[in-house]
Structure 1
Amino acid sequence: MHDTRQRRLAAQAASDRILSGARPATMREHLAELGAGADLDGQPDYYGDGPVAALEERVAELLGTEAAVFFPTGTMAQQVALRYGADRSGHRTAALHPLGHQEVHERHAYAQLSGLRSTWPTTAPRNPTAEEISALAESVSTVVIELPLRDAGFVLPSWDELVAVSAAARAVGARVHFDGARIWESTPYLGHTLGEIAGLADSTYVSFYKSLGGISGGALAGSTELADYARVWRHRYGGQVFQPWPAALSALAGLDRVLPRLPEYVRHARTVAAALAALPGARVYPDPPHTHQFRLWLPHPAQALNEAALALAEKEKVWFVAGWQETEVPGVSRTEVTVAAPGLEWSAEEVVEVGERFLHVAGALRD
């Protein structure tokens, strides 16, 4: 597995053209990125001052909140957000989605470390509606909305639906928390600014490495009271890092250079998705995509598709779409497509042309 991963990374790094994702950066390239436009002669942070404080101020300004607190991981940040809601309300239950990050990707940290429990307003592959929140059978401290809901296909509610569900949560006495790890690219579909979106929530988590391309870390934004609480619990959970300034500088670089381009990524993702959907047996979801990421299905085994992606990259230096996984339907595989800066170079015709070669290779490997 390790050898396969290294081979994949090497092939992707050596590719001249990339449709999905981006060329993986080396440590030297990350360091060079930190030095571009940053005052490297200044003092590093010490437990969160300096560049970390500047980053927190920048995020609070973008989201229109009173404050923001840097966290080394999103798992820690979101657990603190849920704990805050429970402590303030006295209710140990949070309304989560079964496909949400807390349930799927955090090993149930909220339950194991904070003693909280969850209730699911819906199991449908979308965020809950206002009616579903109003119908909750028990009191909850926090309603979590993931923007976009990644494991449902990077799907977003409409703006009116988001306004309604936020109002419904407050009507039942709950806080609203946005898991906005990818909120940066949600503005085109929702048709509102980051500040207007975050203004519907009591707290918002954002990631600096998802979409923005930073090294690591994220922030929890909200009121000054939340920020004070978050700093205490960040320390208690072991997140009071001595000098996280490299992560802060890379996040600031992402806000400067990548954030303004995300609407362009989203627009072109719709072109790419339509072209991919034209391939034999292909299906994309959502159609059209809500963000610059979406799901793609093809009627081939995952192993054949992954081997085809690698073979195409090593032979032609073209990275198409990889990361294929089997589905519950035999012979049909699924992956996620991310249209970033390299993908902007692809026309719809080129997507179809390379896609057909890709499927030809996959078919030969399958046979």
Structure 2
Amino acid sequence: MTFTPDPDDAATLAERLRERRMTAQREAARILSRPPYRASLRERMAHLQEAAEVYDLDERTDVYGNGVVAALEERVAGLLGTEAAAFFPTGTMAQQIALRCWAGRTGNPAVAVHPLAHLEVHERDAFSQLSGLRPVHLTDEHRLPTPQEVREAPEPFGTLALELPLRDAGFLLPSWDELTATVAAARERDAVVHFDGARLWESTTHFGRPLEEIAGLADSVYVSLYKSLDGLSGAVLAGPESLIAEAGVWRHRYGGMLFHQFPAALTALAGLDRELPRLPEYVAHARVVADALQEGFAEAGVPWFRVHPRVPHTHEFQFWLPYDPDTLAEAAVRQAEETGTFLFASPWDRRGPGVSYTEVSVRAAGLDWDAADVKAAVADFVARLPHGAAD
């Protein structure tokens, strides 16, 4: 079934398109990624039951962070090679508390952070509004700051916060040498280093290093339990024992000591067992998909497009086309509705004048796609676009 746009009600159109996209994600026979958060409540309950297999259910339930939650904290600390770790209900809370603690220890409320970082774009100025901290931007380029930019910052800062990968710039990571040099430059300025590692789990392929060596560069690390691991929710802050103890005090003050947290803990433990070992496979196949997109759009005669970065750093990357977001979203959803194949399942957003982008994620569902499958889906998608670019 196709949908005929009504130009008189843009808000209603946007909501209908969103609902169509969500339905298509659930019903698509072929899709590159099928994360659990798009599932029904029944499916999520089944996922929780499956996760129960990773832990002794005859143990008493957790109360304010003991039991299975403490086991999760110990597991993550071991994986990241840190002295301790603490579970938080959200990554936003974990990061605010980490930065607050470091500011108290360094005596400097300035945080060097990229303007595209999650801390700046997606947390409603939380670290400045809640803790009185102040951002310092080292670069406006769509990449992580360079060691030279860290050294030449015109004002001192107490903490350098690096989002690895930098999601809004295209899930970008620096090279290993660049990262180690950037961290060293921060140390030269007597600053501590915090990694916003919401997606750090999938960075090992790009860096060619184990998790503990990557995390070992920083003074503290936050990791998400649901973005890559398929957990229900939650985050972990890892670092020195003294920092984590102080963070626990602030977690209580911020209202983060939930009475029971076992659903998030169980699904996170399951993710560490089941999804974490597969992430390198997803990254490798994302590069196959990216190559096929590049070749498919070129063969379809599309005059301009962009896979960004050209070789994905993780299992997620951006794809750009010179059309307005609504045109591309409609074509993508209509393809899924009419063929059962959902090539571009994420929303489309404006990247700049005349250019829109979407995020492409490759996970278990996408491993069944070979290059020929991707190219066939590209040809069908391009056939649904209007002739010539439009804005």
What's the TM-score, normalizing by structure 2? Answer: 0.90
Of residues 196, 204, 210, the one that matches 2:221 is 204
Paired amino acid for 2:189: V
Could you give the per-residue CA deviations for residues 188-213 of structure 1, whole angstroms, max 9, x where no partner exists?
00010000000000000000111111
Q: Distance in 2 between matches of 1:133 and 1:328?
A: 28
Of residues 152, 159, 162, the one that matches 1:135 is 152
Q: Is the 8 A contact 2:33 2:364 kept in 1?
A: no
Q: Distance in 2 between matches of 1:210 and 1:196?
A: 21
Q: Distance in 1 between matches of 2:175 and 2:389?
A: 41
Corresponding residue for residue 339 of structure 2: 316
SS for the counterpart of 1:246 is helix
SS for the counterpart of 2:212 is helix
Corresponding residue for residue 43 of structure 1: 60
> Any runs of at least 4 consecutive aligned residues in structure 1 with deviations exceeding 4 A, and if so which?
364-367
1:64 to 2:77 alignment: no
Corresponding residue for residue 326 of structure 1: 350
Q: Distance in 2 between matches of 1:21 and 1:112?
A: 36
CA distance change for structure 1 residues 106 and 130 in 2, over 3 Å: closer, same or farther? same
Corresponding residue for residue 339 of structure 1: 362
Could you give the per-residue CA deviations for residues 68-89 of structure 1, whole angstroms, max 9, x where no partner exists?
1001111111111111111001
1:14 to 2:31 alignment: no
Q: Is the 8 A contact 1:21 1:337 kept in 2?
A: no
Corresponding residue for residue 151 of structure 1: 168
Q: Distance in 1 between matches of 2:367 and 2:319?
A: 18
1:258 to 2:275 alignment: yes
Corresponding residue for residue 315 of structure 2: 292
Corresponding residue for residue 195 of structure 2: 178
Paired amino acid for 1:249: L
Q: Distance in 2 between matches of 1:328 and 1:34?
A: 41
Shift of the alpha carbon at 1:137? 2.3
Shift of the alpha carbon at 1:365? 12
Q: Distance in 2 between matches of 1:104 and 1:21?
A: 26
Could you give the per-residue CA deviations for residues 26-72 of structure 1, whole angstroms, max 9, x where no partner exists?
22222222222143343221110111111101100000000110011
Greater Cα shift, 143-152 or 38-47:
38-47
Could you give the per-residue CA deviations for residues 144-191 of structure 1, whole angstroms, max 9, x where no partner exists?
111101111111011111111111111111111000000000000001
Q: Is the 8 A contact 1:304 1:365 kept in 2?
A: no
Corresponding residue for residue 30 of structure 1: 44
Shift of the alpha carbon at 1:20? 4.5
Paired amino acid for 1:337: V
Q: Distance in 1 between matches of 2:61 and 2:70?
A: 11
Q: Distance in 2 between matches of 1:284 and 1:147?
A: 19
Q: Is the 8 A contact 1:308 1:365 kept in 2?
A: no
What's the TM-score, normalizing by structure 1? Answer: 0.96
What RMSD, in angstroms, separates the aligned Cα atoms of the two structures?
1.7
1:88 to 2:105 alignment: yes
SS for the counterpart of 2:352 is coil
Q: Is the 8 A contact 1:75 1:106 kept in 2?
A: yes
Paired amino acid for 2:379: E
Corresponding residue for residue 350 of structure 1: 373
Paired amino acid for 1:30: R
Structure 2: which 5+ runs fail to align? 1-13
Corresponding residue for residue 227 of structure 1: 244
SS for the counterpart of 1:231 is helix
Q: Distance in 1 between matches of 2:129 and 2:244?
A: 23
Q: Distance in 2 between matches of 1:132 and 1:366?
A: 37
Of residues 304, 307, 329, the one that matches 2:327 is 304
Q: Is the 8 A contact 2:322 2:389 kept in 1?
A: no
SS for the counterpart of 2:311 is coil
Of residues 161, 167, 170, the one that matches 2:178 is 161
Shift of the alpha carbon at 1:329? 2.4
Shift of the alpha carbon at 1:321? 0.2
Shift of the alpha carbon at 1:268? 0.7
Q: Is the 8 A contact 1:301 1:326 kept in 2?
A: yes
Identity between Structure 1 and Structure 2 (%): 55
Q: Is the 8 A contact 2:62 2:260 kept in 1?
A: yes
Paired amino acid for 1:240: M
Q: Is the 8 A contact 1:16 1:318 kept in 2?
A: yes
Could you give the per-residue CA deviations for residues 99-137 of structure 1, whole angstroms, max 9, x where no partner exists?
111111111101000001011111111111221111122
SS for the counterpart of 2:221 is strand
Paired amino acid for 1:286: P
Q: Distance in 2 between matches of 1:324 and 1:313?
A: 15
Q: Distance in 2 between matches of 1:72 and 1:248?
A: 10
CA distance change for structure 1 residues 109 and 218 in 2, over 3 Å: closer, same or farther? same
SS for the counterpart of 1:97 is coil
SS for the counterpart of 1:363 is coil
Q: Distance in 1 between matches of 2:62 and 2:21?
A: 36
Q: Distance in 2 between matches of 1:245 and 1:128?
A: 38
Q: Distance in 2 between matches of 1:51 and 1:31?
A: 18
1:362 to 2:385 alignment: yes
